DNA sequence: GTCAAACGATAACATTTGTTACCAAATTCA
DNA sequence: TGAATTTGGTAACAAATGTTATCGTTTGAC
């Protein structure tokens, strides 16, 4: 990875944002946050390649990460992540299996990464605290719901409706990400997405 | 619900199957399992209707539950559950929001249901035990992965490939469930599923 | 056993969506 | 700045899939 390391930077505001969620001593907080490493990478940097085993999780301070997989020779975009999100190839990170996805930046990014073993330790410690247990469950649960909802929109809605929903609910995705990535994210060809936009531009 | 209640039945083998997963005293085990209620219902029984709030989770001793939702007037099947599975409208059960789905039996069923407040209590108690915490996380995680995989197959595979996968990985679904339910589960019309079967019957 | 409802196959036709090809605009980078 | 790459639009055609309608067959309730 062609990246500038800069781990001595003062703990960023981005980590401070989570301070309230951790009912632990300053010492513990220091210890936890010191496991995160700040790194800056250019656009189109591959953080993890499909088939590799994920050993890092990322927190995005600035930028965008695209998660995609190869389907019969063409890239299919599965998800986008932006500022304040944590990203990993979740199944590979948790189970140590080869990743189904590639993680790639679409913009120059400022990221904080943390090693799997530090995450594991941290989880063990922190899940002794009931309120933290619930938070962990909630986060996982919300991600489950997100997949469910996303899937639902594929079964329930037409491609045009999916595009309209995206435009309405996450316009920043459309603004920041090249359109052909969005096409495969919506499950259609670039040509068809162009048609849809054209159709919508004239009164539907 | 037109059902025969029969709660005094001796604790079924189905609950005993989980005994090993609960490192608790016999008294505790007694207490936990006594919260489950056995019930037998005919085919096409609606256990929860879309829009209602889920207050029960079900464990299937015998039979099949179909989870579906109404999409512009037609039923779209989202999932099937069989013996030894636990079923609820997960987001409604957890959050108390109106269910996005209807739960309906496709066969006469023998079920064990448990009330939400009993589940909540049980979870609180049981998650004090580290090994149980991990199990709970794993179950939730596996369900997340399942949604992810199912979604992936929609993006990646053709309808025929999805049908072939189903035939290969879960042939019992095709054997036990009426075909038109399977069509919408695969995201296609019944006519198209018929075409696919026909095509496959002659050498593809 | 009978009758109604549910189920599944098929044909004809309509619509949606993909594919390929080509071009123009925007962006990147040396 | 200028060339190469990326990105986005459009047209023509092909393929996939949906819709509607019809007709047997199976199933289930009584």
Q: What string of pLDDT tens digits covers the 204 residues of chain A?
A: 333 344 445 567 888 988 988 999 999 999 999 999 999 999 999 999 999 999 999 999 999 999 999 998 899 999 999 999 999 999 999 999 999 999 999 999 999 999 999 999 999 999 999 999 999 999 989 988 988 988 999 989 999 999 999 999 999 999 999 999 999 999 999 999 999 999 999 876
From A60, A51, A71, select the one nearest A105 (Cα to Cα).
A60
- The DSSP symbol for B118 reads H
Is residue B160 very low, low, confident or very high in pLDDT (cuts 50, 70, 90)? very high
User: Which band of pLDDT confidence, cut at 50, 70 and 90, is reported for residue B144?
Assistant: confident
Residue B5: pLDDT over 80 = no
If DSSP codes are grouped into helix, strand and coil, which group holds residue B132? helix
- Helix A116-126, helix A130-156: angle, nearest 10: 120
Whether any strand D atom is under 7 angstroms from the Cβ of B41: the reply reads no
CA torsion angle A151 B141 B120 A146 (round to 10): -30
Phi, psi of B61 (to 5 degrees): -85, -40
Q: Which residue has the higher pLDDT, B92 or A6?
A: B92
* Rounded distance in angstroms from the CA atom of residue B44 to the C1' atom of nucleotide D2: 71
For residue A39, how many other CB atoms are within 10 A of its CB? 21
Q: Give the CA-to-C1' distance from A192 to C16 in angstroms.
A: 10
Whether B152 sits inside 8 A of A187 (CB atoms) is: no
Distance between CA atoms of residues A180 and A193, nearest Å = 8
Of the candidate ranges A7-21, A182-196, B45-59, B67-81, the one whose mean pLDDT is the lowest: A7-21
Å separating the CA of residue A42 from the C1' of nucleotide D5: 17
- Domains of chain B by start residue, with CATH: 4-128 (2.60.120.10)
A114 contacts: CB under 8 Å, gap ≥ 6? A35, A36, A37, A56, A57, A59
Q: Give the C-alpha separation, A147 to B187, whole Å.
A: 17
Q: Could you tell me which residues come within 8 angstroms of residue B30 by beta carbon, excluding any fewer than 6 positions away?
A: none
Q: For chain B, give the mean pLDDT.
A: 91
Name the minimum distance, in Å, from the CA of A148 to any CA of chain B.
6
Residue B11: the pLDDT is 62
Our measurement of CA B191 to C1' D17, in angstroms, reads 9
d(Cα B72, Cα B184) in Å, to the nearest integer?
A: 13
Tokens of B190: 């019944």
Is any atom of strand D within 7 angstroms of residue A158's beta carbon? no
Considering only CB atoms, A140 lies closest to which of B141, B150, B156, namely B141
Flag whether residue A100 sits within 8 Å of chain B, measured between CB atoms. yes
Residue A84 CB coordination number (10 Å): 12
Chain B partners within 8 Å of A76 (Cβ): 155-156
Task: Please state, in angstroms and rounded to a whole number, the distance separating the CA atoms of residues B15 and B84.
Answer: 9
Determine the Cα–Cα distance for residues A109 and A152; give it in Å rounded to an integer.
31
- In this prediction, residue A12 carries a pLDDT of 76
CA nearest to nucleotide D7 C1': residue: A178
Whether B147 sits inside 8 A of A152 (CB atoms) is: no
- Nucleic strand D within 7 A of Cβ A190: yes
A171 touches chain B (CB under 8 A): no
Q: Where are the alpha helices (DSSP H) in chain B?
A: 13-16, 26-33, 90-95, 116-126, 130-156, 159-169, 171-176, 179-186, 190-201
Are the beta carbons of A103 and A68 closer than 8 angstroms? no
Does at least one atom of strand D sit less than 7 Å from the CB of B191? yes
Residue B99 CB: number of other CB atoms within 10 A?
21
Nucleotides in D strand less than 7 A from protein CB: 6-12, 16-21, 29
Sheet holding B102-105, edge to edge: B46-48, B102-105, B65-71, B74-81
Q: Assess A94–B contact: CB distance below 8 Å, yes or no.
A: yes
User: Is B186 within 7 A of strand C by CB distance?
Assistant: no
């Amino acid at each position: 990875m062609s990246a500038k390391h800069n781990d001595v930077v003062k703990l960023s505001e981005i980590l401070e944002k989570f301070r309230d969620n951790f009912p632990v001593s300053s010492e513990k907080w220091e210890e936890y946050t010191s496991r995160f490493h700040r790194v800056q990478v250019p656009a189109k940097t591959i953080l993890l390649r499909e088939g590799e085993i994920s050993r890092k999780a990322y927190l995005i301070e600035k930028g965008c990460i695209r998660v995609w997989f190869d389907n019969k020779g063409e890239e299919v975009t599965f998800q986008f992540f932006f500022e304040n999100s944590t990203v990993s190839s979740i199944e590979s990170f948790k189970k140590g299996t080869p990743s189904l996805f590639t993680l790639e930046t679409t913009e120059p990014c400022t990221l904080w990464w943390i090693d799997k073993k530090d995450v594991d330790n941290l989880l063990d410690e922190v899940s002794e605290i009931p309120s933290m247990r619930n938070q962990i469950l909630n986060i996982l649960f919300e991600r489950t719901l997100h997949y469910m909802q996303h899937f639902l929109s594929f079964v329930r809605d037409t491609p045009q409706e999916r595009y309209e929903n995206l435009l309405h609910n996450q316009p920043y995705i459309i603004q920041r990400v090249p359109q052909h990535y969005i096409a495969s994210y919506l499950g259609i060809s670039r040509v068809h997405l162009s048609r849809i936009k054209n159709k919508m531009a004239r009164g539907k």
